[in-house]
Amino acid sequence: MTREDLSAYHDAGRPVISSMYLRKSRAEEHMSLEETLSRHKAALLDYAKKYGYLVAPEDIYEEVVSGESLFARPQMLRLMEAVSSGKYEAVLCMDMQRLGRGGMYDQGFILDTFKASETLIVTPERLYDLTKEMDEQAAEMETFLSRGEYRMITKRLRRGTLQSVQNGAYMANPPFGYRKIRIGRLSSLEIVPDEAECVRKIFQLYADGNGCTRIEQAVNAMGYHGRRGSQFNRNTIRLILDNPVYIGKIRWNKTSTVKVGIGSERTKKVIYNTADKIQIIDGRHPAIISQDLWDTVQARRKSRYFYVDNKHIASPLAGLVHCSKCGRLMNMMGKSKGVPYLLCPTKGCSAGAKFEYVEQAVLYQLEQMAAGLEIQVKDGAAPDTSALDSVHDKLEAQLAKLEDRRNRLYTLLEDGTYSKDLFTERMQVLTSEENRLRGALNDVEEDLRAAKSQNHKKQLEQLQTVLAHYQKSSIPARKALLQSIIADIEYTKEKKTKPADFALSISLIDFI
């Protein structure tokens, strides 16, 4: 739709089929998400009613997550898909920066999508028809300026946060044993007596030679529990023993967030920083334990456990092995005189096993899978997808019929057969049916992709590479090799069974 089309619609009294995009900005941090979106929705609905924009309830996209990148905002992605398909003639939003002020790629993708589909961008202050050069330049300038504004706001926030931390302020959520208070203008902590007593027992029990599992059992038996009534587990115990907040310190910059991948595959990943980047700062809050007890505990922990960081990976299976009962990732820990075991973090779940046994079992199964793939490659049989193809064709045919129905609805509205209320009601029914069919079509397409992407030849080649280089590789290289071919490993072991009596189910990565 162009500006000229819009004028013709208004003259004819024909509503403009539109959607609405709502997102909170940093300038509205003083308001709750619900309050912000509710106000914006009411304002835009009034505007739409006044100027003839028809927005059905299912065409309102409310972004409830905050993300700089386009691919971190699911509602925006849904909107872009609908706009590119020509579903809407206009999209209403409070201002241009709501649509996106991410990187140049994101901004360009959004504006190109609106331009290619000839979809108007409508704000209470201005209408943008990107088929017109002046509107396109104005939109580009708006997004460019908002991007610069975003960077300056982020930079000031980071600088202010760092300055507060260096002055001893505690900025994160209060850890177990403390509650948040304010000292002047700075956020700090004060001791919660009952919780602090539990923290002291945990440190002392560990210093006396007890392990995390035994401490977990002891503090739960004493009646201690987390803030939400949950029982302690060994992971919680480890986190408490590792936190210098209990000696009056603040640990800053322990982790960093990096972006990995490109396009729709681009995601944010949290990594642990090296020791030289982590800052330990004197806090304004009181200590719960003494420095001597802290030093004793840390010395014992370093001699007892395997540590994982960015440069020294303790387990080549890290991030791959899941417990079949609870679904959680298995952890490698040094137990029984330093022998590493693979353990489920959920108490009373799958029994643990020596890491060496699990690693050997994984390599054995990979060898067996390689032998089986070699036979399939020689046979050369292609997967039979005829049934899925048939379902796919039927769904596409039904969607085409719905598009014909949609066009007939517009005709009936334009010639006066349908009132606006009846048109809206019928359009809602049609849209609901269309969404159901598109969901089913997406599922079938995913099944087809999975069936056709199982390139056995590539899987075999990668398996052979892994098996040929694994034994002579470093631990980080072994991990990279395994992750190049394994999608997931499911681990099962019952209690009171033999050491090697466990089961592994390995899923390989599909190659296109």
Give the integer Cα–Cα distance in Å for 441 and 80.
18
0.75 exceeded by pTM: no
Contacts of 180 (CB under 8 A, 6+ apart): 170, 174, 187, 188, 189
Q: What local confidence, expressed as pLDDT, does residue 149 receive?
A: 61
321-323 vs 331-335, strand pairing mode:
unpaired
Q: Which pLDDT score is estimated for 67?
A: 57
Give the 3-state secondary structure of residue 311. Answer: coil
What pLDDT is stored for residue 199 in this prediction? 94
The tokens for 28 are 């509205």
The CATH fold of domain 167-304? Hect, E3 ligase catalytic domain fold (3.90.1750)
φ/ψ (deg, to 5) at 25: -110, 170
From first to last of the 512 residues of the chain, give the pLDDT tens digit.
Answer: 778 888 888 888 888 999 999 987 655 555 677 888 888 999 999 999 999 999 999 999 988 765 556 666 788 888 988 999 999 999 999 888 777 655 566 777 888 889 999 999 999 988 999 989 888 888 877 776 666 565 666 677 677 777 778 888 888 889 999 999 988 888 899 999 999 999 999 999 999 888 887 888 888 888 888 877 778 887 788 889 989 999 999 988 777 766 655 544 556 666 767 777 888 889 889 999 999 999 999 888 876 654 444 444 468 898 899 988 888 888 887 654 567 888 888 877 888 899 999 999 999 999 998 888 887 777 666 666 777 777 788 888 888 888 888 888 888 888 888 888 888 888 888 888 888 888 888 877 876 766 665 577 888 889 999 999 999 888 888 988 998 899 889 999 888 888 888 999 888 887 76
- Give 384's contacts (C-beta < 8 A, 6+ positions apart): none
**What is the Cα gyration radius of the chain?**
29
Alpha-carbon dihedral 134, 135, 141, 142, rounded to 10 degrees:
150
CATH architecture of 3-162: 3-Layer(aba) Sandwich (3.40)
Q: Residue 443: its pLDDT value, please?
A: 76
Say what the alpha-carbon torsion angle 236, 240, 242, 247 is, to the nearest 10 degrees.
Answer: 170
H-type alpha helices, 261-415: 291-304, 355-379, 386-414
Which helix (H) or strand (E) is 353 found in, with range? strand 353-354
Please check whether residue 202 is in contact with residue 214, taking contact to mean a CB–CB distance below 8 angstroms: no
> Within 13 Å of residue 60, how many CA atoms lie on the same side as its CB?
17
